[in-house]
Homo-oligomer: A and B are copies of this chain.
């Protein structure tokens, strides 16, 4: 196992897929806006808006990278991520009146798209770093929901992903599809798209149809 990790830090590199990177940046921006909006609603100042934008957008990927041994995490070694996260937070700060008027359903759809992308990219990166497929699925889920979890912890709230809806579950489903597809040696691009799409559709439909995960019987 340890042998496996060797190439880890030096030889294996995420593919520099320009399209993937562009979509990744877009997801970062959306998540940063959501973090900034949560901060503004909690009456935090400019700095609080920027911190929650950063944490929400990049926290999940940072946790994943620390856990799979990809240090420094991508969000630290590539300054563009932080710049985009801060741009997302700052645009909330500047244009809060307009941002507040974005329909919640549009925000939810954008968020679901970001979630799908993060989950899929996170699972693939974990696999590339030699993590066991089952754990790679988990890493995809953490990439998708970790940022929102940190945001809620900083706001001293029970993380919303623990509470309700198909949110983390959608991320895990998308990640699982990708991992199974890659293990079956299916071509990477369609598998990635299918995984992100599965997560997206599950999330949107579950909000629309009010699906929830079961709770312990009797509660």
Contacts and interface: CB of A to CB of B under 8 A. Distances in A.
Interface string A117-157: 00000000000011110110011000000000100011111
A33 to B, nearest CB: 13
Contacts of A135: 76, 79, 82
Contacts of A131: 1, 72, 76-77
A40 B213 CA distance: 13
The interface size bin for chain A is 35 or more
Contacts of A92: 216
Interface string A161-201: 11110001100000000000000000000000000000000
A42 B158 contact: yes
A12 interface: yes
Nearest to A158: B156
